[in-house]
Structure 1
Amino acid sequence: MTERAATPDVRQMLNKVPEVTIWFWVIKILCTTVGESFADWINMTLGVGLVNTAVLFTAVFVVVLGVQMRLRRYVPAAYWLTVVVVSVTGTLYTDILTDQAGVPLWISTTIFSILLAATFAVWFAKERTLSIHSISTTSREAFYWFAVLVTFALGTATGDWTLELTGWGPGLSILLPLGLIALVTVLWRSGADPVLSFWVAYILTRPLGANIGDWFGLPKSEQGLGIGVFGTSLIFLGAILATVIYLSISRADVIEDVEATSYVPPSSPQRRRATLGVMAAAAVATIGLLTWANAQPHQSALADEGPAPSCDSGAPLDQAAATKQVAADFPSSSVNDYRTIVTDTQDLVASDDQSGAQSRITDLETAWDADQGSLQPKNCQAWTYVDTQIDDVLTSIRASSPDQGAEDQAMTALLTTLG
């Protein structure tokens, strides 16, 4: 693609993004993973809430992006901090559409796809290039960061939609984006358009990194490694810090010359058309795979992340009716286990052991999620009633400033329903 020279009144800088080496993709995936897990930790574990977390990270994004935009060259620490924050922010925007506004994931995917295509169209019409080797003016950098924000939102919607369609666990779900990224790499080496290859791979790293984060963070009962979202955040933040320090010292990913270009495999119009055809065929095959998986009996892997499903028949239950139905339809052994955990947590709260209470109540969350598949079909209304009460208990205990009165009230109400 041709490069249009900046006019004298446009702020001209050294290239503001790193060279696309293996380090670029490693740290990009690390940033995506820590963005997912860190947002979950603040939103759910600390009890800040989805909307408040989104407002917080939007403000942080404005600040770090302002610092990044004022720099005149690529600075690894500032650039990758911006990527981490934009990863969290884009993810939260999609989560708000899904969990707060109730927008179906296929609609979110469509909306963000159209928005990204429009962004690229306007960017190219104005700058005549979409290459990241030319981010050397304020205008191009603004287009670049807006496109990055949309790719994270799109990647979140697409990845969650895939999990919703297939019901795949976190480990298995890693394979699809990883395989597609490997295919894009092979096609790039075979002469595919480098700009198209870059942005397709960039979008695919979002669901890959998020699935890795889920795999590390989820308990073993849910096919995860059981490290937890906070532990996962610390591991990947440490890896990001080590990588950024190395890149700051080695300057292995610095493009000093605006006109500099990285290695581009030999290509031709025939090769580009052929590789584009392979990409299209891979897209069709992926759609076919998802359609087949959706037709198989499964439970959505996102069932535990969203709001409790509603029941189509019957009036909403009051507590007396819910208590009666729980006793009649749910196994007494399971209900006794839940009561024991809640009672233990009450004792810990009463003794001012908030940390112990938070740890113990996680056992209730894990046990309840593990039993959802067997309990919900027995009595959907009773399950939904108890699920809402458990959410209230988790929110009160995980609040940043816990109120013992609110905690005890939520746990007492749950114990009453559990008999």
Structure 2
Amino acid sequence: MTRTATAAVRTRAQRVPDPTPLFWITKAVSTAMGEAVSDFSIHVLPPVVAVLCGFALFVIALLIQLTRRRYIPWAYWTAVGMVGVFGTMAADVMHVALGVPYAVSSAFYAVVLALVFLVWWRLERTLSVHDITTTRRELLYWAAVVATFAMGTALGDLAAVGLGLGYLASIVVFAVVILIPALGYRFAHWNSVFCFWFAYVVTRPLGASVADWFGKERVDGGLGFGEGWVSLVLVLLMVVLVCAMYLRSPRRTQAIDVQS
């Protein structure tokens, strides 16, 4: 970083986690959990009530995260989990309630995500998750996260249902697709920001396909364990992973040079 006599160094806390292996494991579990919990809630509650409750919990979780001012695992991953639940509901509402085809909703959310990135870039000149140190950047980050979850849900449904691949085949397809940014970054030196968001989008349909495969009835192409049991197992797994973060990750801050 450039240091001059007129530069003031100010330390700000990083508000979101770095993309470590534990981050990616937890992110994949959160996407599966969001799918399972969303589907289960729709079946045990009237759909309108389930969606309203999902939205209310999503707003509460996000407000808690935004008031932390630094990365705290339980607050961040609670927000991610509720984004997973409500993002699934948002994509499902477009298809089930409004009759929008999966291909159209996938394209719609892709455009929304592109617009979020465009606004983010024009305002901040960076899309890096390593620089989420202000409220504005964090709001843009969460807007992108919500769009990726909705888009990923629509893509997963498009593959499994719209294209007739089924859940198991969809798992294989998205597992292969998610290797593209990983290999591109590792061997072809692709841009790290592009690879991060590429992988971030694909974890959603991959995790959702896994949850559906375990939870859906056999007649629908699943293993028939039930969405309630799958939801419970994934929620408990999320708790274990977040606890592991507290054991492994000390509090970290990020120093930023601010030109006067």
Taking structure 1 as the reference length, the TM-score comes to 0.57
SS in 2 for 1:68: helix
Taking structure 2 as the reference length, the TM-score comes to 0.90
CA distance in 2, matches of 1:52, 1:258: 45
Residue identity (%): 37
- Which position in structure 1 is the counterpart of 2:20? 21
CA distance in 2, matches of 1:203, 1:63: 24
Superposed CA deviations along residues 356-385 of structure 1, whole A, max 9, x for unmatched, are xxxxxxxxxxxxxxxxxxxxxxxxxxxxxx
Shift of 1:61: 1.2
Whose Rg is larger? Answer: 1
Q: Is the 8 A contact 2:39 2:227 kept in 1?
A: yes
Structure 1 spans left out of the alignment, 5+ residues:
3-7, 260-419
Match among 172, 195, 212 for residue 197 of structure 1: 195
Tell me whether 1:168 sits opposite 2:165 in the alignment: yes
Q: How does 1:34-73 map to 2 (within 5 A)?
A: 34-44=33-43, 46-49=44-47, 51-73=48-70
- Which position in structure 1 is the counterpart of 2:227? 229
CA RMSD of aligned residues (A): 1.9
Tell me whether 1:157 sits opposite 2:154 in the alignment: yes
Bigger RCO (CA 8 Å, 6+ sep): 2
Shift of 1:52: 2.2
Shift of 1:157: 1.2
Q: Is the 8 A contact 2:12 2:253 kept in 1?
A: no
- Equivalenced residue count is 248
CA distance in 1, matches of 2:231, 2:123: 39
- Which position in structure 2 is the counterpart of 1:145? 142
Superposed CA deviations along residues 255-294 of structure 1, whole A, max 9, x for unmatched, are 42255xxxxxxxxxxxxxxxxxxxxxxxxxxxxxxxxxxx
Match among 211, 226, 237 for residue 213 of structure 1: 211
Amino acid at match of 2:202: L
- Which position in structure 1 is the counterpart of 2:31? 32
Shift of 1:224: 2.2
Q: Is the 8 A contact 1:217 1:226 kept in 2?
A: yes
CA distance in 2, matches of 1:37, 1:235: 10
Superposed CA deviations along residues 241-262 of structure 1, whole A, max 9, x for unmatched, are 111001012217x642255xxx
- CA, structure 1 residues 223+18, in 2 after alignment: closer, same or farther (shift >3 Å)? same
Q: Is the 8 A contact 2:109 2:150 kept in 1?
A: yes
Structure 2 spans left out of the alignment, 5+ residues:
3-7
CA distance in 2, matches of 1:24, 1:175: 21
Amino acid at match of 2:207: G
CA distance in 1, matches of 2:42, 2:240: 26
Q: Is the 8 A contact 1:19 1:255 kept in 2?
A: no
Amino acid at match of 1:247: M
Q: How does 1:355-370 map to 2 (within 5 A)?
A: none
CA distance in 2, matches of 1:154, 1:228: 25
Amino acid at match of 2:204: R
Tell me whether 1:79 sits opposite 2:76 in the alignment: yes
- CA, structure 1 residues 23+166, in 2 after alignment: closer, same or farther (shift >3 Å)? same
Shift of 1:195: 0.4
Shift of 1:184: 1.4
Runs of 4+ with >6 A deviation: none
CA distance in 1, matches of 2:222, 2:102: 24
CA distance in 2, matches of 1:245, 1:15: 19
Shift of 1:169: 2.1
Shift of 1:12: 7.6
SS in 2 for 1:257: strand
Q: Is the 8 A contact 1:133 1:258 kept in 2?
A: no
Q: Is the 8 A contact 1:32 1:209 kept in 2?
A: yes
